[in-house]
Amino acid sequence: MKINKIIVSFISALAILLSTSVVSFAKVVGDKIVLGAAISLTGKYSSNGVHTQNGYNLAVERINSMGGVKVGGKTYKFDIIYYDDESNPKRAAQLAERLISQDGVEFMLGPYSSGLTKAIAPVTEKYGVPMVEANGASRSLFTKGYKYLFAVLAPANLYLDVAIDLAVEKNNGKPVRIAQAFEQDAFSQDVRLGILEAAKRTKSEIIIDDKLPKELNDMAATLVKVKQMKPDVLVVSGHTKGALTAIRQIAEMKVDVPMLAMTHCDAAKLSKQHGKNSQYALCASQWHKSLTYKDKFFGTGMKYAADFEKKFKYDPPYQSAESSAALLVFKDAFERANSFDKKKVRDALAATNMQTFYGNIKFAPGGQNVDKPMVLFQVMCDDSGKCENKVVAPTKWASAKLIHPIPSWSKR
Partner 1 sequence: MDFMVFQYPMITIQACLDGILLGVLFALIAYGMALQWGVMNIINIAQGDLVILGGYIAYFMYLYGIHPAWGVIVSPFIMYFVGVGIYKLVINKVVDRDLFISILATFGISILFMQLMNFAFGADVVLANSGYGTTFLFDNNVVLPNSKIFSAVVSIIFAICLVIYMKKSKLGRAIRATAQNARAAKILGVDTEKVYAATFGINAALCGVAGALISITFTIHPYMGLPYTIRSFMIVIVAGLGNLPGVAMSGMGLGVFEEFADYLLGTEFRIGSVFLLLVLILVYRRFKLSRKREYLK
Q: How far is the CB of 296 from partner 1 (least distance, A)?
A: 34
CB-CB contact of 329 with 359 (8 Å): no
Residue closer to partner 1, measured from CB, 276 or 336: 276
**How many of the chain's residues bind partner 1 (CB under 8 A)?**
41
* Closest among 261, 263, 281, 262 to 271, alpha carbons compared: 281
**47, 64, 355, 360: which one binds partner 1 (CB under 8 A):** 47
Residue closer to partner 1, measured from CB, 153 or 270: 270
Residues 196-225 interacting with partner 1 (rule: CB under 8 A) = 210-213, 215-222, 224-225
Residue closer to partner 1, measured from CB, 196 or 253: 253
Query: By CB under 8 A, is residue 412 in contact with partner 1?
Result: no
Tally the C-alpha atoms within 13 A of residue 15's C-alpha that lie toward its C-beta.
Answer: 6
For residue 91, CA distances in Å to 59, 86, 137, 164 come to 26, 7, 20, 38
What is the distance between the alpha carbons of residues 167 and 162, in angstroms, rounded to a whole number?
A: 9
Query: By CB under 8 A, is residue 245 in contact with partner 1?
Result: yes
**184, 292, 339, 408: which one binds partner 1 (CB under 8 A):** 184
Q: How far is the CB of 328 from partner 1 (least distance, A)?
A: 28
* Binding segment (CB under 8 A) for partner 1, from list 193-201, 248-256, 332-340, 378-386: 248-256
Query: By CB under 8 A, is residue 170 in contact with partner 1?
Result: no
The residues, any chain, with a CB within 8 Å of residue 73's CB and separated by 6 or more, are none
What is the distance between the alpha carbons of residues 196 and 181, in angstroms, rounded to a whole number?
A: 12
Q: First CA to last CA across the chain, in angstroms?
A: 86
Residue closer to partner 1, measured from CB, 207 or 350: 207
Query: By CB under 8 A, is residue 51 in contact with partner 1?
Result: no
**70, 230, 254, 343: which one binds partner 1 (CB under 8 A):** 254
Query: By CB under 8 A, is residue 71 in contact with partner 1?
Result: no
Residue closer to partner 1, measured from CB, 43 or 299: 43
* Closest among 51, 99, 65 to 267, alpha carbons compared: 51
Query: By CB under 8 A, is residue 244 in contact with partner 1?
Result: yes
CB-CB contact of 116 with 45 (8 Å): yes
CB-CB contact of 154 with 222 (8 Å): no
Buried b (16+ CB within 10 A) or exposed e, 78-99: bbbbbbbbbbbbebbbbbbbbb
Residues 273-292 interacting with partner 1 (rule: CB under 8 A) = 273-275, 277
Tally the C-alpha atoms within 13 A of residue 389's C-alpha that lie toward its C-beta.
Answer: 27
Residue closer to partner 1, measured from CB, 234 or 244: 244
Sign of CA dihedral 369, 42, 54, 124: positive
Residues 355-394 interacting with partner 1 (rule: CB under 8 A) = none
What is the distance between the alpha carbons of residues 49 and 119, in angstroms, rounded to a whole number?
A: 16
Q: How far is the CB of 259 from partner 1 (least distance, A)?
A: 21
Q: Which residues bind partner 1 (CB under 8 A)?
A: 42-47, 87, 181, 184, 210-213, 215-222, 224-225, 227-228, 239-241, 244-245, 248-249, 252-254, 268-269, 273-275, 277
